[in-house]
Amino acid sequence: MRNVRFAVLTLLALVVSGYLVHTSYDDARHTASRDATAQHRAKHRAATEKKATSGDASKRAGTRHRPSAKARALRQLAGRGTSGGGVCAKRPTLPRCTAPPVPTTTSANPTVTTSTSTPTSAAPTLSAPPTSATTSTSVPTSSAPPTSSAPPTTSAPPTSGPSGTCSQPVWTGSAATATYQPSDTWWVNNNAWSGGHGPQTMYACSPSSWYVTSNQPDMGGQVQTYPDTQYNTNSTKTIGQYNSITSTFSEAFPAAGSWDAMYDIWLNNYSTEIMIWNEWTGTNLYWPNDKSTTVVIGGVPYWFQNNGGIFVFFRQTMVKSGSVDLLAAMKYLVGRGLIKSTDVPTQLEYGVEICSTAGTQTFPMTGLTFNLS
């Protein structure tokens, strides 16, 4: 009986032991399976995320290499050479852009005086034979404007030449940067500086007598050209060292179109710009508004505006001829703390900013003098 009981207990122990071993095996197998599944899912998730990240990076890289519409528009605008390109973009014929020779003087601060009435010398003529111009007047042509043979050695610059209506031009030019340079002091510039400008031809008898025929499109008030006479002081004399800087002018610009007749004064090698408007017509972004200040310069009332560091005087009564006290305008700005008495007048210009013409128009400049002492 005892043996039977022992056998039963042994058999029962074996059954229980086998069950426990099987259960442990199943648990281990299920655990391994779960771990493998988790690892597989983790790998799949990582692969998916890597693929998505790679795709996003590819998209971002593609976007990086393709400029935005705004960037492309700005590049096109810069390529056309319109606004926002600096002084050389607006005035490609400026000496600092074209690097003309600098004449020597007899003293550090020479006294410069130009004639105010009868000129002392006639405007230079060209050696090229004359050809027929597009107008009824016979106009000589030349492949390049004449230059002075040597820089002046005295403090007095060449005179501007004869005034009056230009009827027998000695020079003509249609290129955007065409320049008639009878001396290092006096330049006459066609100056079609905007990339969107239309055709324009300049005819010059002297720096104080010229005209342009111009046909400019209306581009929302944007200035297309600035045909002008340019006077280079070639001096280091400061505003405070001058006793007088005055000018006289006369023109016969048309009533049609949108334009302004004005002085453009540059200080300190073209770092500061002063404009003095005598006449304008049409539409222009610089017109006087309620923010203008009334000032009196040389006995003449003007509206004054500071347009982002460009100082503009608008003559309250527009005129086609007259005189302007340029030094008084500079001293007004000195008194306002906008410029300094130690600033140096580098260049004086007078011409017409043409925005649009409503067809071909003629702009005659009939007189100009600058008097500096």
pLDDT of residue 215: 98
Distance CA 201, CA 360 (A): 11
Tokens of 253: 């610009």
Instruction: Compute how many other C-beta atoms are within 10 angstroms of the C-beta atom of residue 260.
Output: 25
- Domain 86-372 sits in CATH 2.60.120.180: yes
Proportion of the chain in helix, strand, coil states, percent, rounded to 5: 25, 30, 45
Distance CA 119, CA 139 (A): 22
pLDDT of residue 291: 73
What 8-state DSSP symbol labels residue 240? G
**Of the candidates 131, 361, 350, 136, the residue with the CA atom closest to the CA atom of residue 246:** 350
**Domain range annotation of the chain:** 86-372
pLDDT of residue 285: 59
The two counts, helices (H) then strands (E), for the chain are: 5, 17
Cα dist from 140 to 123, 132, 180, 211, 294, whole Å: 14, 7, 13, 15, 46
Sheet hosting strand 179-180, strand order edge to edge:
179-180, 186-189, 228-232, 345-356, 258-267, 272-281, 310-315, 300-307, 293-297
Amino acid at 168: Q
In contact, 314 and 291? CB cutoff 8 Å:
no
pLDDT in tens, 191-230: 999 989 999 999 999 999 999 999 999 998 899 999 999 9
pLDDT in tens, 17-64: 665 545 555 555 444 444 444 444 444 444 434 434 444 333 333 322
DSSP string, 166-190: --S-SEEE-STT-EE-SSSSEEEE-
pLDDT of residue 52: 41
What is the value of pTM for the model shown? 0.61
Provide the 3-class DSSP secondary structure of residue 79. helix
Q: Which residues of the chain have pLDDT under 50?
A: 21, 29-89, 94-159
